[in-house]
Amino acid sequence: MSIIDKRLDLIKDKIHEETFVNGKGLGNEISFYIFDYDPKDELKVRDHIYYLINDYFKAPHHKRKIIEFNLYEMFLDIAKEKNIYNQIFDMEQKQGKNFLYRALTTFARPEIFLDRIKNEIDDHNVIFITGVGQIYPFVRTHNILNNLQDILEDKMPVILFYPGQYSEQDLQLFNKLESENYYRAFRLIDNFEGEEF
């Protein structure tokens, strides 16, 4: 079994722990977790997320009810609802990539994602956030996380699946881009000794 398979396999046990919901450390103020991984393992991670949501935690005896918010898919859905989806391609051709970047960054404010998350949580009690790499550079992860705790009640646990490295001080997307400071989440599963990505 590969290291990423071993780390993925530990997720379900971690979600069952009481400290997962209650947080840990001195403050216990939030239950935000980041599962960081080598971007080359993206498809394997996606498959495992699908398994956790649609197979493992679907069993009636599980207390945890998971909902996934894929930021990239949410972005596309919102663009279609606002009737700008088809315009995106025209905008890139006619105005150029820089214009498109500025327009979409202005459009993809954290609030449009947070409103949708708040309205769709329903009776779920664990949130998975995915699609981080796909939505870059229009949405920055730390902006979503910084605002998310304001809309969640009862310390609802959030797991962000992150294609890059999280040091518990900063996030480095794809292991290459400039780091973004973020220190309010715990690592869900520590790296194994000798694991590099």
| Entry pTM | 0.90
Taking only the tens place, the pLDDT of each residue in 92-144 is 888 888 888 888 888 888 899 999 999 999 889 999 999 999 998 888 888 88
Is 57 within the bounds of a domain?
A: yes
Is 55 within the bounds of a domain?
A: yes
CA distance 191 to 197: 10
Is 43 within the bounds of a domain?
A: yes
Residue span of the structural domain in which 38 resides: 3-70+123-187
Q: Which residue has the higher pLDDT, 66 or 30?
A: 66
Burial 134-170 (b: 16+ CB within 10 A, else e): bbbebbbbbbbbeebeeebeeebbbbbbbbbbbeeee
Three-state DSSP at 60 gives coil
